[in-house]
Each structure stands twice: as structure tokens, then as C-alpha cells.
Amino acid sequence: MDHDGHDEDEPADPIADMTHIRDMVEHFGFPLEEHLVYSDGYCLGIHRIPHGPFPPPVGTPESAGAPPAYGTAKGSMSSSADDVVVLPPTPISVHGRPVVLLWHGFMMCSEVWVCSRTNSLAFMLAEDGYDVWLGNNRGNKYAFKHLSKNPNDAEFWDFSLDQYTQDLSNVVDYILAQTGQPSLIYVGFSQGTAQLFAALSSNPALNQKIRLACCLAPTGKPHDLKHSLVASLVKSSPSLLYLLFGRKSAIPSVFFWQRVFARHMFIRVMDASMAFLFSWTNSEMSRSAKLSHYYHLYSPASVKSVVHWFQIIRGSFSMYDDAPGLLAPHALTHVPASYPLRNIKTPIALFYGGRDTLSDLGFLLSQLPTPAFVLKVQEYEHLDCLWASSAHSRLFPAVVGVMRALGARHPDGTRAEVPRDFVADEVVAEALARGTAQLGALEMATRAEDETVLETVAKLRGVRKRVTAAPRGGATRGATRVVMMNGGAGKKLAARGHGRHVVAAARAETEVSESGSD
């Protein structure tokens, strides 16, 4: 037994020992395609899960590829074997499936999205009817190649967040060309949200190619790191940082230590490191998840990208400063170009944890256009938006719900397919009810449906005391509760939908009726 009372020889998830995403995805019974995208000479390996798991042969017992319980007849979420819903084999077609692109965080790769069968947003979306793509940044495990530069040379690693934005734009163009779709939905985690903000704000054309952005643990200008020693490094001159860490890959020794340490010891070292840097406890993640997921957490990144983040922490969300001053964030002769976040046109939904010490949500809300939807999970820290044990029920269904509500039209006005193949409407409704939507979000969702609309948003705005009340017998199948904030008065609206039909209605709250507020 180790110091924490766990068996040192406990069996490990085979995912921990898999070194390629193909093995991981196919282990869970899903198909995987590998694609190459060229970005400034770098060869970016990106991955595609075109549909849900392969139908098992008739008479085959349930295996790793059997679908998890993303919704039962009562709309509950469960991971117990008794509640697993096995779908009958159906013909699989990729044509016309809406496209979603998932992007990893800092010092990560696409593997972080597929570490679990029952707690993976990528797999949930693939089963719900989406054509799922996974991106990678230059220099990481799947983009460790350049047409003319050698990874052993410092020139190969001369990139930062500014170049990551170009990778994102090139990958989006490639995916749209391959699928023939006019736009896609983007889901980013941590730095994957920051490079999206940078790309959308500096490339207006990209806003017409990404119709919705769902941001998990969104990051623009991170908080100062908790430990005083590390905080002093953040304030150091880039020259000192390059002297200490070199100009190539950042912390390459991680691969060595994860093979040298016993599994339980490696988990303790990782937990201690994150507690030291960010005061994270990772208590929302199960030990079994850590034993497999932590081995896919790190992927190479440049020291220059670390220095860029340090510049952002002590300054603003700006481009890399090539000539910083010794005593100020920038020299007296110039000002680093800030990313104009107010120029973003793509609707943005934010999903974050209440105990996340890294993301500065206040900064984002002050700089970004008004988000279409915001969901806070109080118990979550930064990594929990990826791997919390409850993410499959508390967070991911809300992402699916926002995609259903706000992803129904391309920026050019044409209709986009909105699948609802697997995740039950009640599950989505329960998750969405914990979030806050702006009035504009409901307007967009309403305009996206050209079928029967019994109550328009314009009528809802004029409601004072007489409203069309929704059924009071509890939530019905397909009901979606969202909390609307307007002039300080909260209204609970229910949108009951089946397929492409939406009924918008308002339920009068006692406090709202008594106040007479709109």
C-alpha cells in the first residue's frame, strides 16, 4: 500500500500505456481518421471521429464500444451497468453531419479529449450526431515536424500564442474544405480558448467560419501564479527565462519522469506540482481517472510560448513583445499590440469552475462582447472542465444544449443541421438550467427555428403581469430551462422543443409579478 492507503499494484487502465490516439479511440470502439494540415511549414496532425462507435456484430456481448448512459427514459445520467442504453445497429452516414472542432490547452495534445469512454465530450458529441475533429498546435506530440526545420534546433521552437492562432485558422480552413460545410462549431479548453479569442479578434473572416464558440475554463489574462518563487519568475526578464530554460521545448523531462516513477508516485508528484503552482486539489477527479489521464496530460510546447504567457500575466492580452523593457512590460519606444477582443462577432458561451485559480473571468467579461451563455460549476477547478467525474452530467450536456440552441444557423443565414441522436433532452435541460443566458441568446435560438413559434421574444419583453404560463406539472420531455437576466429581474423561461419545433413560453415568478418589472 502507498502512503495514501492505495494498493501500489492496483490494475491500471490500459489507456495509461497507450501512446497513440488511434489506439485510444479504437479501444473504445470509435473510428478515427488522421489528417495533415500545413501551417507555416509545420505539419499539424489532426484527428477526426466522423461518427459514433461501430455497431457491434449481432450476438456480440457488450464491450468497450458499447454506448454509455447519456440519457435514460427519465432523462437521468448514470454510469452504472444497469442503466447503459445499447442502441440497435443503424446505418452510419457522415454526409451532412454538423462539424465541431475541439482544441486542447497549454502543453497538451488531442489525446486529452479521449481518455475516458463515459466521460468524454468528444465521444458524447460523436454519438449525438456530430462530425468531431480534434486539433493540435505546432510542436506538440502530433505536430513535431517541419518541412525544413529540425526539432533539435532552436529555430524550430521560435513560436508563441501568435503562431498558434495561425494554426487554428489553417485547421478551420482545411476542415471546411474537407467537409464542404460553410461553418463549424468550436470547443476549446484553456489556452484553446485564448488562441480562439486571438484568432477571431485579428482575423474578421474567421468569424464567418465559426458560428459558435464554447469555451471550457476560458483563459485570456491568467491570474498571477500562487507561489512567490514562481510569481517572481513571471516578472523576470525574458532573457533570464531563456537563460534558465533554453529556447527549445519546455520541460521535456516530464516524459522521463512519468516512466521512471511508479504509477502511484507519478500521480502524487503531478498533484503536488499543480498544488504548488495553482493551489489545485483535483478532488473532483477520481483516482482511477488520474491513473490513466495524467499520462496524457503533457505534450511539448515552446519555451517562447511560456514567456509569452508570462508577458500576458504581467501586462495585457497582447501579442508577443520581441523587445521588452527591463523595468516595464514594454520599452518606451513601443507598445505591444493588444488583441482587439471587442471585434469578435462569433457568439461565445463560457463554462468555468468556481474554484479555478488560473482563469480570470472578470477580465474576459470586461473585454469580450456579451457572452451568449455562462455556466459556473462552483466545485470545479481548471482541469475539472475536462476530467471531473461529474462532467458527463453537469457540464458536457450543457455544452450540447448550447450547441443545439445557438448552432442551428450558419453565419450566412442558411440552416445548419442540429442533431439530437443520443443525449436526452431532459439531461440537456437539467444542465442548462444551472447557467445564465442573455436575452440575445434566446432571440438567436428563436430566429434559428422557422417552424411554429407560439410566443416571440418581442412579446416576452412586453410581459408585465399577464403572461402565457408554462405547464406547472414539472418539466416535460424536451423542456429546456434557462435563466434570463433583464434589467436586474430574473425570468425563468421554458422552451419546449421536439425536432425543429420550438414553443417559447414564460412562467410568471411571484417576485417578478409583484415588482411589476419587465
Q: Which active-site residues does the annotation give? A: 190, 356, 382
- Residue 110 DSSP label: G
- CB neighbour burial string for 503-517, b if at least 16 within 10 angstroms, e if fewer: bbbbbbeeebeeeee
56 closest CA partner among 22, 92, 80: 92
Distance CA 321, CA 114 (A): 35
Number of alpha helices (DSSP H) and beta strands (DSSP E) in the chain: 18, 12
Kindly state the cell numbers that stand for 76. 437521468
Cβ proximity of 134 and 99 under 8 Å: no
For residue 268, how many C-alpha atoms fall within 13 Å in the half-sphere facing its CB?
A: 11
Q: Reading across the β-sheet that carries 501-507, which strands appear in turn?
A: 33-39, 42-49, 131-134, 99-103, 184-189, 210-216, 348-353, 373-377, 436-437, 479-486, 489-498, 501-507
Partners of residue 501 on adjacent β-strands = 498
Helix axis angle for 191-202 and 161-179, nearest 10°, is: 80
Distance CA 209, CA 469 (A): 38
Distance CA 230, CA 240 (A): 13
Cβ proximity of 276 and 227 under 8 Å: yes
Distance CA 350, CA 374 (A): 5
